[in-house]
Protein backbone atom coordinates (compact mmCIF):
# COMPACT_ATOMS: atom_id res chain seq x y z
CA UNK A 1 0.00 0.00 0.00
CA UNK A 2 1.32 3.39 -0.92
CA UNK A 3 0.57 6.61 0.84
CA UNK A 4 -1.71 7.81 -1.92
CA UNK A 5 -3.89 4.71 -1.62
CA UNK A 6 -4.15 5.11 2.11
CA UNK A 7 -6.88 7.76 1.88
CA UNK A 8 -8.95 5.36 -0.15
CA UNK A 9 -8.38 2.64 2.41
CA UNK A 10 -9.51 4.94 5.22
CA UNK A 11 -12.69 5.78 3.28
CA UNK A 12 -13.54 2.10 2.98
CA UNK A 13 -12.60 1.47 6.60
CA UNK A 14 -15.13 4.10 7.65
CA UNK A 15 -17.73 2.34 5.51
CA UNK A 16 -17.09 -0.81 7.57
CA UNK A 17 -15.39 -2.68 4.77
CA UNK A 18 -13.79 -5.76 6.33
CA UNK A 19 -11.16 -5.95 3.60
CA UNK A 20 -10.01 -2.43 4.42
CA UNK A 21 -9.87 -3.46 8.09
CA UNK A 22 -7.72 -6.46 7.14
CA UNK A 23 -5.35 -4.38 5.05
CA UNK A 24 -4.86 -1.81 7.80
CA UNK A 25 -4.28 -4.57 10.35
CA UNK A 26 -1.60 -6.06 8.12
CA UNK A 27 0.16 -2.71 7.81
CA UNK A 28 0.12 -2.31 11.57
CA UNK A 29 1.16 -5.88 12.30
CA UNK A 30 4.09 -5.75 9.89
CA UNK A 31 5.18 -2.40 11.31
CA UNK A 32 5.07 -1.03 7.80
CA UNK A 33 6.63 2.36 7.12
CA UNK A 34 3.18 3.93 6.93
CA UNK A 35 1.84 2.19 10.05
CA UNK A 36 2.21 5.40 12.12
CA UNK A 37 0.01 7.20 9.57
CA UNK A 38 -2.61 4.49 9.97
CA UNK A 39 -2.49 4.71 13.75
CA UNK A 40 -2.66 8.50 13.76
CA UNK A 41 -5.71 8.45 11.51
CA UNK A 42 -7.66 5.82 13.42
CA UNK A 43 -6.77 7.00 16.93
CA UNK A 44 -9.56 9.54 17.26
CA UNK A 45 -12.16 6.84 16.73
CA UNK A 46 -10.67 4.39 19.17
CA UNK A 47 -11.21 4.14 22.92
CA UNK A 48 -14.79 2.95 22.74
CA UNK A 49 -14.41 -0.82 22.68
CA UNK A 50 -14.34 -2.93 25.82
CA UNK A 51 -11.16 -5.02 25.68
CA UNK A 52 -11.11 -8.49 27.12
CA UNK A 53 -8.00 -10.64 27.43
CA UNK A 54 -8.34 -14.41 27.59
CA UNK A 55 -5.28 -16.26 28.79
CA UNK A 56 -4.33 -19.61 30.28
CA UNK A 57 -2.19 -22.67 29.66
CA UNK A 58 -1.94 -24.30 26.22
CA UNK A 59 -4.94 -26.43 25.35
CA UNK A 60 -7.12 -25.15 28.22
CA UNK A 61 -9.89 -24.45 25.75
CA UNK A 62 -9.36 -20.73 25.28
CA UNK A 63 -10.27 -20.67 21.60
CA UNK A 64 -13.36 -22.79 22.12
CA UNK A 65 -14.35 -20.46 24.93
CA UNK A 66 -13.74 -17.29 22.91
CA UNK A 67 -15.85 -18.82 20.21
CA UNK A 68 -18.73 -19.55 22.54
CA UNK A 69 -18.44 -16.14 24.21
CA UNK A 70 -18.45 -14.39 20.84
CA UNK A 71 -21.62 -16.19 19.81
CA UNK A 72 -23.22 -15.36 23.17
CA UNK A 73 -22.38 -11.67 22.79
CA UNK A 74 -23.66 -11.69 19.25
CA UNK A 75 -27.00 -12.92 20.58
CA UNK A 76 -26.99 -9.79 22.71
CA UNK A 77 -26.37 -7.67 19.59
CA UNK A 78 -22.84 -6.85 20.66
CA UNK A 79 -20.31 -6.77 17.82
CA UNK A 80 -17.00 -8.54 18.36
CA UNK A 81 -13.51 -8.45 16.94
CA UNK A 82 -11.14 -11.23 18.00
CA UNK A 83 -7.35 -11.26 17.95
CA UNK A 84 -5.82 -14.70 18.49
CA UNK A 85 -2.12 -14.44 19.23
CA UNK A 86 -0.35 -17.63 18.21
CA UNK A 87 3.06 -18.52 19.47
CA UNK A 88 5.38 -19.04 16.53
CA UNK A 89 7.22 -21.78 18.37
CA UNK A 90 7.82 -24.83 16.16
CA UNK A 91 6.62 -27.08 18.98
CA UNK A 92 3.08 -25.79 19.05
CA UNK A 93 2.84 -24.52 15.47
CA UNK A 94 0.99 -27.56 14.17
CA UNK A 95 -1.58 -27.69 16.93
CA UNK A 96 -2.23 -23.99 16.63
CA UNK A 97 -2.80 -24.15 12.93
CA UNK A 98 -5.46 -26.77 13.58
CA UNK A 99 -6.86 -24.51 16.24
CA UNK A 100 -7.14 -21.63 13.82
CA UNK A 101 -8.97 -23.68 11.26
CA UNK A 102 -11.36 -25.01 13.90
CA UNK A 103 -12.18 -21.53 15.06
CA UNK A 104 -12.64 -20.11 11.59
CA UNK A 105 -15.03 -22.93 10.77
CA UNK A 106 -17.07 -22.33 13.89
CA UNK A 107 -17.36 -18.65 13.17
CA UNK A 108 -17.99 -18.83 9.45
CA UNK A 109 -21.43 -17.62 8.50
CA UNK A 110 -21.43 -15.20 11.43
CA UNK A 111 -20.22 -11.63 11.20
CA UNK A 112 -17.73 -12.02 13.98
CA UNK A 113 -14.32 -10.89 12.82
CA UNK A 114 -11.26 -12.94 13.77
CA UNK A 115 -7.64 -12.21 13.14
CA UNK A 116 -4.59 -14.31 14.00
CA UNK A 117 -1.30 -12.67 14.86
CA UNK A 118 2.02 -14.36 15.40
CA UNK A 119 3.76 -13.53 18.65
CA UNK A 120 7.22 -12.93 17.33
CA UNK A 121 9.80 -14.28 19.69
CA UNK A 122 8.92 -15.76 23.03
CA UNK A 123 6.65 -18.71 23.64
CA UNK A 124 3.42 -16.83 24.04
CA UNK A 125 2.11 -13.55 25.26
CA UNK A 126 1.48 -10.67 22.95
CA UNK A 127 2.99 -9.68 19.68
CA UNK A 128 4.56 -6.25 19.93
CA UNK A 129 1.85 -4.75 17.77
CA UNK A 130 -1.15 -6.48 19.34
CA UNK A 131 -2.31 -3.39 21.28
CA UNK A 132 -2.14 -1.35 18.08
CA UNK A 133 -4.15 -3.99 16.22
CA UNK A 134 -6.71 -3.77 19.01
CA UNK A 135 -6.83 0.01 18.47
CA UNK A 136 -7.61 -0.54 14.80
CA UNK A 137 -10.44 -2.96 15.64
CA UNK A 138 -11.69 -0.56 18.26
CA UNK A 139 -11.76 2.31 15.75
CA UNK A 140 -13.54 0.08 13.25
CA UNK A 141 -16.43 0.10 15.70
CA UNK A 142 -16.49 -3.28 17.40
CA UNK A 143 -18.16 -3.04 20.81
CA UNK A 144 -15.87 -5.69 22.22
CA UNK A 145 -12.34 -6.68 21.26
CA UNK A 146 -11.17 -10.04 22.60
CA UNK A 147 -7.50 -10.94 22.71
CA UNK A 148 -6.61 -14.62 23.18
CA UNK A 149 -3.08 -15.54 24.20
CA UNK A 150 -1.36 -18.54 25.66
CA UNK A 151 -0.30 -17.73 29.20
CA UNK A 152 3.18 -19.01 29.85
CA UNK A 153 5.60 -17.61 32.38
CA UNK A 154 5.54 -13.85 32.69
CA UNK A 155 4.26 -13.11 29.25
CA UNK A 156 0.61 -13.04 30.14
CA UNK A 157 1.30 -9.88 32.11
CA UNK A 158 1.44 -8.20 28.71
CA UNK A 159 -2.17 -9.17 28.22
CA UNK A 160 -3.33 -7.85 31.56
CA UNK A 161 -1.55 -4.60 30.80
CA UNK A 162 -3.33 -4.01 27.54
CA UNK A 163 -6.95 -4.95 28.22
CA UNK A 164 -9.73 -3.77 30.51
CA UNK A 165 -10.61 -7.21 31.89
CA UNK A 166 -8.55 -10.38 32.04
CA UNK A 167 -10.07 -13.85 32.03
CA UNK A 168 -7.78 -16.63 33.24
CA UNK A 169 -8.78 -20.06 31.97
CA UNK A 170 -7.72 -23.11 33.95
CA UNK A 171 -8.63 -26.77 33.70
CA UNK A 172 -9.26 -29.25 36.52
CA UNK A 173 -6.10 -31.17 37.08
CA UNK A 174 -4.08 -31.72 40.20
CA UNK A 175 -2.14 -28.71 41.32
CA UNK A 176 -3.92 -26.39 38.92
CA UNK A 177 -4.37 -23.66 41.49
CA UNK A 178 -0.79 -23.96 42.70
CA UNK A 179 0.40 -23.58 39.14
CA UNK A 180 -1.80 -20.58 38.69
CA UNK A 181 -0.34 -18.93 41.75
CA UNK A 182 3.19 -19.68 40.68
CA UNK A 183 2.61 -18.22 37.25
CA UNK A 184 1.19 -15.06 38.80
CA UNK A 185 -2.21 -15.72 37.26
CA UNK A 186 -4.00 -15.03 40.53
CA UNK A 187 -2.68 -11.49 40.39
CA UNK A 188 -3.90 -10.71 36.91
CA UNK A 189 -7.28 -12.47 36.85
CA UNK A 190 -10.45 -10.40 36.95
CA UNK A 191 -12.52 -13.48 36.22
CA UNK A 192 -11.51 -17.13 36.60
CA UNK A 193 -12.88 -19.77 34.29
CA UNK A 194 -12.54 -23.44 35.09
CA UNK A 195 -13.10 -24.93 31.69
CA UNK A 196 -13.55 -28.63 30.96
CA UNK A 197 -15.79 -28.77 33.99
CA UNK A 198 -17.11 -32.03 32.57
CA UNK A 199 -13.93 -33.56 33.99
CA UNK A 200 -13.22 -34.56 37.57
CA UNK A 201 -11.78 -32.05 39.96
CA UNK A 202 -13.49 -28.87 38.78
CA UNK A 203 -15.18 -28.24 42.13
CA UNK A 204 -11.95 -28.87 44.06
CA UNK A 205 -10.08 -26.40 41.87
CA UNK A 206 -12.86 -23.87 42.35
CA UNK A 207 -12.59 -24.15 46.13
CA UNK A 208 -8.80 -23.83 46.00
CA UNK A 209 -9.07 -20.70 43.90
CA UNK A 210 -11.70 -19.19 46.18
CA UNK A 211 -9.42 -19.89 49.16
CA UNK A 212 -6.48 -18.27 47.44
CA UNK A 213 -8.66 -15.30 46.57
CA UNK A 214 -9.87 -14.81 50.13
CA UNK A 215 -6.25 -14.29 51.10
CA UNK A 216 -5.84 -11.79 48.32
CA UNK A 217 -8.88 -9.68 49.10
CA UNK A 218 -7.90 -9.51 52.77
CA UNK A 219 -4.77 -7.57 51.87
CA UNK A 220 -5.85 -5.72 48.77
CA UNK A 221 -7.66 -2.38 48.69
CA UNK A 222 -9.19 -3.52 45.46
CA UNK A 223 -12.74 -4.44 46.32
CA UNK A 224 -13.31 -6.67 43.30
CA UNK A 225 -13.01 -10.35 44.07
CA UNK A 226 -12.61 -12.36 40.88
CA UNK A 227 -15.53 -14.74 40.46
CA UNK A 228 -14.82 -18.36 39.56
CA UNK A 229 -17.01 -19.79 36.82
CA UNK A 230 -17.18 -23.40 35.66
CA UNK A 231 -17.64 -23.87 31.94
CA UNK A 232 -17.87 -26.57 29.31
CA UNK A 233 -16.94 -24.50 26.29
CA UNK A 234 -17.95 -26.85 23.43
CA UNK A 235 -21.45 -27.14 24.93
CA UNK A 236 -21.59 -23.39 25.69
CA UNK A 237 -22.26 -24.27 29.35
CA UNK A 238 -21.48 -21.42 31.74
CA UNK A 239 -20.93 -18.95 28.91
CA UNK A 240 -23.85 -16.66 29.70
CA UNK A 241 -22.62 -16.51 33.29
CA UNK A 242 -19.18 -15.54 31.98
CA UNK A 243 -20.71 -12.78 29.87
CA UNK A 244 -22.66 -11.56 32.90
CA UNK A 245 -19.58 -11.47 35.14
CA UNK A 246 -17.62 -9.57 32.52
CA UNK A 247 -20.40 -7.03 32.30
CA UNK A 248 -20.30 -6.72 36.10
CA UNK A 249 -16.56 -6.19 36.02
CA UNK A 250 -16.85 -3.51 33.37
CA UNK A 251 -19.50 -1.73 35.45
CA UNK A 252 -17.28 -2.05 38.51
CA UNK A 253 -14.38 -0.44 36.62
CA UNK A 254 -16.57 2.38 35.41
CA UNK A 255 -18.18 3.03 38.76
CA UNK A 256 -14.82 3.30 40.49
CA UNK A 257 -13.19 5.35 37.74
CA UNK A 258 -10.71 2.52 37.33
CA UNK A 259 -11.32 2.18 33.61
CA UNK A 260 -10.15 5.71 32.86
CA UNK A 261 -7.25 5.45 35.28
CA UNK A 262 -5.96 2.20 33.78
CA UNK A 263 -6.31 3.55 30.26
CA UNK A 264 -4.39 6.66 31.23
CA UNK A 265 -1.63 4.50 32.67
CA UNK A 266 -1.46 2.44 29.49
CA UNK A 267 -1.32 5.59 27.39
CA UNK A 268 1.56 6.94 29.40
CA UNK A 269 3.46 3.67 29.01
CA UNK A 270 2.76 3.60 25.31
CA UNK A 271 4.08 7.12 24.77
CA UNK A 272 7.24 6.41 26.74
CA UNK A 273 7.72 3.16 24.84
CA UNK A 274 7.27 4.89 21.49
CA UNK A 275 9.66 7.65 22.46
CA UNK A 276 12.29 5.08 23.38
CA UNK A 277 11.79 3.22 20.13
CA UNK A 278 12.00 6.43 18.12
CA UNK A 279 15.19 7.52 19.85
CA UNK A 280 16.73 4.12 19.37
CA UNK A 281 15.90 4.14 15.68
CA UNK A 282 17.44 7.59 15.34
CA UNK A 283 20.62 6.42 17.00
CA UNK A 284 21.05 3.41 14.77
CA UNK A 285 19.72 4.72 11.48
CA UNK A 286 21.06 8.27 11.27
CA UNK A 287 24.63 8.13 9.98
CA UNK A 288 25.54 11.57 11.37
CA UNK A 289 24.46 10.46 14.81
CA UNK A 290 26.32 7.18 14.44
CA UNK A 291 29.48 9.05 13.45
CA UNK A 292 29.15 11.43 16.39
CA UNK A 293 28.56 8.47 18.68
CA UNK A 294 31.75 6.84 17.38
CA UNK A 295 33.60 10.08 18.03
CA UNK A 296 32.35 10.21 21.62
CA UNK A 297 33.24 6.57 22.16
CA UNK A 298 36.74 7.27 20.92
CA UNK A 299 37.09 10.10 23.44
CA UNK A 300 35.86 7.83 26.23
CA UNK A 301 38.31 5.09 25.21
CA UNK A 302 41.17 7.57 25.35
CA UNK A 303 40.06 8.60 28.80
CA UNK A 304 39.31 12.13 27.64
CA UNK A 305 35.65 11.82 28.40
CA UNK A 306 33.29 9.72 30.52
CA UNK A 307 30.10 8.08 29.23
CA UNK A 308 27.88 10.32 31.38
CA UNK A 309 29.20 13.51 29.84
CA UNK A 310 28.97 11.80 26.46
CA UNK A 311 25.24 11.30 26.97
CA UNK A 312 24.78 14.98 27.75
CA UNK A 313 26.67 16.01 24.65
CA UNK A 314 24.84 13.48 22.59
CA UNK A 315 21.42 14.67 23.72
CA UNK A 316 22.41 18.27 22.99
CA UNK A 317 23.62 17.32 19.55
CA UNK A 318 20.65 15.38 18.24
CA UNK A 319 17.82 17.55 17.06
CA UNK A 320 15.03 15.17 17.80
CA UNK A 321 12.26 16.87 15.87
CA UNK A 322 13.06 19.69 13.52
CA UNK A 323 9.60 21.15 12.96
CA UNK A 324 8.15 23.90 15.11
CA UNK A 325 6.29 22.69 18.19
CA UNK A 326 2.57 22.45 17.62
CA UNK A 327 0.35 24.20 20.15
CA UNK A 328 -0.86 21.74 22.78
N1 LIG B 1 -13.86 -32.16 27.53
C2 LIG B 1 -13.72 -30.89 27.18
N3 LIG B 1 -12.91 -30.56 26.16
C4 LIG B 1 -12.80 -29.26 25.82
C5 LIG B 1 -13.48 -28.25 26.52
N6 LIG B 1 -13.15 -27.07 25.97
C7 LIG B 1 -12.29 -27.32 24.98
N8 LIG B 1 -12.07 -28.64 24.87
C9 LIG B 1 -11.17 -29.32 23.93
O10 LIG B 1 -9.83 -29.01 24.28
C11 LIG B 1 -9.02 -28.93 23.10
C12 LIG B 1 -8.26 -27.62 23.07
O13 LIG B 1 -9.19 -26.58 22.91
P14 LIG B 1 -8.76 -25.15 22.37
O15 LIG B 1 -9.96 -24.28 22.44
O16 LIG B 1 -8.07 -25.25 21.09
O17 LIG B 1 -7.73 -24.74 23.50
P18 LIG B 1 -6.74 -23.47 23.53
O19 LIG B 1 -6.58 -23.12 24.96
O20 LIG B 1 -7.25 -22.43 22.61
O21 LIG B 1 -5.43 -24.10 22.95
P22 LIG B 1 -4.11 -23.28 22.50
O23 LIG B 1 -4.57 -22.04 21.80
O24 LIG B 1 -3.43 -24.25 21.61
O25 LIG B 1 -3.35 -23.00 23.75
C26 LIG B 1 -9.96 -29.10 21.93
O27 LIG B 1 -9.90 -30.42 21.50
C28 LIG B 1 -11.32 -28.79 22.52
O29 LIG B 1 -12.36 -29.43 21.85
C30 LIG B 1 -14.35 -28.64 27.60
O31 LIG B 1 -15.00 -27.83 28.26
N32 LIG B 1 -14.43 -29.97 27.88
MG1 LIG C 1 -6.27 -21.32 21.09
Protein residue with least CA distance to atom 17, ligand 1: 61
Alpha carbons 206 and 148: distance in angstroms, whole number: 22
Q: From ligand 2's centre to the CA of 21, what distance in Å?
A: 22
Strand partners, 116: 84
Question: Within 6 Å (CB) of ligand 1, which residues are found?
Answer: 58-64, 95-96, 99, 150, 195-196, 198, 232-234
Hey, which of 55, 56, 61, 67 would you mutate to test ligand 1's pocket, going by the most ligand atoms within 8 Å of its Cβ? Answer: 61
**Which residue positions in the chain have pLDDT lower than 70?**
1, 87-111, 120-127, 152-158, 174-183, 216-222, 320-326
Which pLDDT value is given to residue 246? Answer: 97
What is residue 95's predicted lDDT score, i.e. its pLDDT?
45
Residue of 28, 132, 149, 27 whose CA lies nearest to 88: 149
C-alpha span between 64 and 62 (Å, rounded): 6
Out of 167, 234, 235, 241, give the residue to mutate to test ligand 1, the one with the largest number of ligand atoms within 8 Å of its CB: 234
Strands 191-194 and 228-230: parallel
Find the 98 Cα to ligand 2 centroid distance in Å.
Answer: 9
How far, in Å, from the CA of 204 to the mean position of ligand 2?
25
Measured distance CA(230)–CA(277) in Å, rounded: 42
Candidate of 54, 57, 59 to mutate for ligand 1, largest count of ligand atoms within 8 Å of Cβ: 59
Going along the chain, which residue ranges are E strands? 50-56, 80-87, 113-119, 144-150, 165-170, 191-194, 228-230
Ligand nearest to the CA of 62: 1
Task: Label residues 10-48 b or e (16+ Cβ within 10 Å = b).
Answer: beebeeeeeebbebbbebbbeeeeebeebbebbeeebee
Q: What pLDDT sits at residue 8? A: 93
Ligand 1 atom nearest to 235, measured from its CA: 31
Please give the number of the atom of ligand 1 that sits closest to the Cα of 195. 31
Residue-level pLDDT at 90: 43
Burial of residue 237, with CB atoms counted within 10 A of its CB: 0-12 exposed, 13-18 middle, 19 or more buried: middle
- Minimum CA distance residue for ligand 1 atom 14: 61
Whole-number Å distance, alpha carbon 168 to ligand 1 midpoint, is: 14
Per-residue model confidence (pLDDT) at position 274: 83
Amino acid sequence: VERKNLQNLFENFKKHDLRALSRLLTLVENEDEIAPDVLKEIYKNSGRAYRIGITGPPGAGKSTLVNALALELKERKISIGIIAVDPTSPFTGGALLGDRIRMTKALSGTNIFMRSMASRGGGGGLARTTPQAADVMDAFGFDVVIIETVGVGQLELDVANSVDSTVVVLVPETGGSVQAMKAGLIEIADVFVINKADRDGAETLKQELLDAMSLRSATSENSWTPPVIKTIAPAAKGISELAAKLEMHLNFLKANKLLARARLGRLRKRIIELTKLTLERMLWENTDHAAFLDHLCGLCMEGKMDPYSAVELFLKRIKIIKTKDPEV
